[in-house]
Amino acid sequence: MVLLFPALALGETMDDLVKRDGLYYKKFTVVPFTGNTTGITQGAFRNGKKEGPWVSFSSYGREMIFED
């Protein structure tokens, strides 16, 4: 399955992250998260802060682009 959808193997989902003091962390860590998220909400983090454009997919397959 991962070979068919390589994006599933790269990055974390928003469910894998927690927000503390305005920064996002991977669960059970103390280092602010840097990397990409996959899944329904996709985007990039640098040092725990959202960076660049973000895309969110609805259950109907439509996409909405937003920045936070």
What are the domain boundaries of the chain? 6-66
For residue 59, pLDDT over 80 is answered with no
State residue 58's pLDDT score. 78
Give the model confidence (pLDDT) of 4-46 as tens digits: 444 445 579 999 999 999 999 999 999 999 999 998 889 999 9
Do 42 and 53 meet the contact criterion of CB atoms below 8 Å apart?
no
Question: What pLDDT sits at residue 4?
Answer: 46
Cα–Cα distances (Å) from 43 to 1, 68, in that order, read: 22, 10
Sequence-separated (6 or more) residues with CB below 8 Å from residue 45: 17, 24, 32, 33, 34, 35, 36, 37, 51
pLDDT of residue 43: 94
- Strands annotated E in the chain: 17-20, 23-26, 35-37, 41-46, 49-57, 63-66
pLDDT of residue 63: 64
